[in-house]
Structure formats: structure tokens, C-alpha cells
Structure 1
């Protein structure tokens, strides 16, 4: 998954430039077929696309790095997956344009909708802010912001609770104490006798 992230983040490596030049050639990472004459590692990376898609999104800038139909920039996610190929024909766009084709001077300029699906797509455009630079975003489906922050503090030894308890003279295991507070019906999990 790191290699996929590097492709979207445009990490300044020779490998990223090589992949864009040799294998992608201006196409979306999500739409290129898996070539049989490629290396084992490139085929494996392409097979991971379905797993990686939910974790990648974009903050929109100029739209020059974002594929309109294949990248996840819209609140509905990947437009081609959500609305199907027919919607691209209704929109009057070919299958591979960049998002920059509908952004002019930092504002949305999409042709009039010719289908209900396009109306649905266009109705959500005012909710999407346009910045200065296209920025890939690595999402986590399980991360709750508060939990992520607490974990970050823990890794940086920023949680002072155990330290404060040691100042009060507490030397026991906090986990055992927590389990003792559980209802007597749950004590069988700990092997301890409730008191």
C-alpha cells in the first residue's frame, strides 16, 4: 500500500517517475489493465487497487492531478463506480479527463445536467471547497479522531495518568484494577474473585 500512496503523493522517487512513464502513460491508476509482461510486484500492486481505493481521497486544488471519473474527490466517492459508465456519456466528457476540465478560476464550471445522476453529482459540488493545490489524503476507515489523538499522545509519552498515579504511590497494574471494577458476572474472565 505504501507504493500506491507514493504514486498519489508524487513522492520524488525514480520508481514513481518510471511507473508514470512506462505503465500509466497519462491514464488513471484505477483504470489501467494488469499487464502480463510487467513485473510480479507491479501486478501485485495493481491487484491491491480495490483494497486501497477506500483509503485514498483528494483535497481539490487545480484539478490537474485528479481524474474526474476514477479518483475519489467527490463526497459520493469514485464517480464511475457510484454512477456507472453511462453518466460519463450523459456528461459529454470522455472517460479520462482531469478534474481541471470543470474548474475555471477556482470555481466549478460543469455543463448543464442531462440526467438525474448528473444532477445528483452537481448538487453536491457547492459543498466541495477548491484550494490551491491538489493534495492526496490518506483516510482511515477505523480511525476516530479522539482515539487517534490519544494514541498519538501515548506514542509520544504524553499520557501522564500513570505517572501521576505513581506520584500518589500507586504501583499496581491499572488493568487488574479496572477488571476488579467490572461486575461480578464478568470476573470469570480475569480469574480473580470479586470482593
Structure 2
């Protein structure tokens, strides 16, 4: 989760024009890739981009304690004259000069003309001394006695690892459910959700560990994620949480879509006409219940797009708002 902060720094540098991306990476706004403690940065081989990238790493280290391990990091330069190559290597200090053919990437970004391969390690200066300082602020230590100071009532400021892990997974789920415009979310929809919804898809036996973890917490997140209907074009009629009964396919089963001869991926717009509800005649008790609740559903203006919002509930496993706060989501309170 800490590396998300670094992603934000690079996004800001890209928006401000302080780094230039490799041409093949511009469309997807791919400035870097992260896996565990490995980091790869893709920028043009110009001095401004190199200086800004190194400055981002130094700034990130100052507030996170995660430092660049120069002994295990390298820079790959290609398509440059010898003099330009030496100038950029001098800017990077002690980074090793890597070989372009050592890191092939097929079907993705070209490595031309600059590629950092950085190893991130935890700096000693940001661990034990800081924790010792924190403990001295919160406790008074005397021989044979440990007593809390007055400001201890505010707590140590530490978060439970289990809750933070759950919050991180829920944040990823929120990105998917709210269709965040990102390379990773687009890949998820292409790989796992081409013909299904995040709420109803079943992970296959060869699904990744991360994907199975995301699906594991689906039932906890479901009451929070709600669709507000505008023009109805972005919300699945049977597979999204927009109706008072919840996700209709989970509530009534596959039969409800067969009763109206509707495809699995039908949209809410299919039962709207000029902004007003216009469903097909009910042919079952389930449809009578479903269509009967439509007049009570609050809708956005028909000209607006559908919205995905975070809804607080009284049955939260965490204190009020804590899930949304941990996930970086601003909750929107809805009636009911």
C-alpha cells in the first residue's frame, strides 16, 4: 500500500509535465510498474525526466522510509550517442548501466530509450529510532515502572495490520466496482469480467491469489457499493446493486432474466424510456416485486450518467466511516 504513494508522485509529475513518457506508454499513462519490492520506471532519456524521477525516489524515501538500493538498481539507456549516454549516467550517480536486451517486454511498452530497474529497501533510519521516539512521547519509563502519558489517550497512532490489509483489498474492489480509469482495472475487466460482473463472477481454479482475495471480501463490500441511476447505460440490470432488493440475479436467481427474455448483461436503460420507468409486463411474482419497487427509486436527471457511490450501513464490521476512510473513499450517505 505504501507504494501507492509513489504512484501518486509519478502521476503528479506526469500531469505537471516534469517527466516525459515513452511514446508507446503514453496512451495507457504507464510511467512505472511495481511488483513487491521491485520497481521499474519508464521515461524518456532526457535530463529533466531523469532528474525528476530520481527526485521522486528521494522524496518518497523521506516520508516512507523505503530507500533506493543503488547496489541492486540499474538504468538502461538506448538510442543515444555515447556523449549523451555518459551525461545521463553521470546524473544518476552510482546506478549501474544495464543492458537493454536483458529485460525484453513483449506486447507492452518498448524499453526505448530509458528504463530504470530499481530495488527498494527499508531504511534503518525510519524504523527503530522513530518507533523509540514515538514510545518516549507516549510513555514515561522509570525503573520497574511504565506509565502512560496524558497524550496516550489518543493512542499510538498505529493501525491493526489485519484491518489495513482488508482495507487495501476493499480499495482494489472499489476501483473495480466504480470502473476506475486505470491500466489494472481495464485489465481486470478484459481478463475476468468480459461476460460477467464483479458481484457474480466465480473465480476459476487458475485465478491469481490477489483476485481470489478480492472476491473473498465481496459479501462485506456489497452493502456499501450502490449505483445511482441516470441514463442507465453504465449499470447492469441484473448484476449490479441499484435496486432496493439488491443485486437482482443474486436475489431471485437466473429465472428472473429468463422471465423477460433478457440477456445476462442487459443494462438499466433497457427498462427506461425518456427518463421514466418502462419495464416489460411482469410475468412472475419476482418481476411484480421488482418492477413494483421502481417508482420509489431515486434517480439522477436522465441526461446524467449513472454514478457508483459508497453507502454507509449500520451493520459495518468496522466503526462508522472507517472502511471508507481506510480505503480513501468519501462516503455518500443515502436514505435507507
* TM-score of the alignment, normalized to the shorter chain, above 0.5: yes
Aligned residues: 147
Q: TM-score, normalised to structure 2's length?
A: 0.41
Are 1:24 and 2:193 an aligned pair?
A: yes
2:306 equivalent to 1:134: yes
**Corresponding residue number in structure 1 for 2:251:** 82
C-alpha distance in 2 between matches for 1:95 and 1:14: 26
The correspondence of residues 1-195 of structure 1 with structure 2, limited to 5 A, is 1-131=170-300, 132-142=304-314
Structure 1 residue 125: Cα displacement = 0.8
Contact 1:63/1:103 (<8 A) preserved: yes
Task: Using the TM superposition, give the Cα deviation of residue 26 of structure 1 relative to its aligned residue in structure 2, in angstroms.
Answer: 4.2
**C-alpha contact 2:225 2:241 (8 A) present in aligned 1:** yes
Higher helix share: 1
What is the CA deviation profile of residues 165-193 of structure 1, one whole-angstrom value per residue up to 9, with x for unaligned ones? Answer: xxxxxxxxxxxxxxxxxxxxxxxxxxxxx
SS of 1:24's equivalent?
Answer: coil
Separation in 1, partners of 2:246, 2:175: 20
The TM-score, its normalising length taken from structure 1, stands at 0.67
Q: Which sections of structure 2, spanning at least 5 residues, go unmatched?
A: 1-169, 326-336
Deviations 1:133-165 (A, max 9, x none): 21112112138xxx87xxx9xxxxxxxxxxxxx
What SS does the corresponding residue of 1:82 show, helix, strand or coil?
A: helix
Bigger strand share: 2
- What SS does the corresponding residue of 2:227 show, helix, strand or coil? strand
Query: Secondary structure of 1:101's partner?
Result: helix
- Flag as ranges the 4+ runs of structure 1 deviating above 6 A: none
- For 2:211 and 2:227, the matched residues in 1 are separated by 23
The alpha carbon displacement at 1:35 in A equals 2.1
Greater relative contact order (CA < 8 Å, ≥ 6 in sequence): 1
Cα distance in 2 between the residues matched to 1:142 and 1:118 = 28
1:107 touches 1:130 (CA, 8 Å); kept in 2?
no
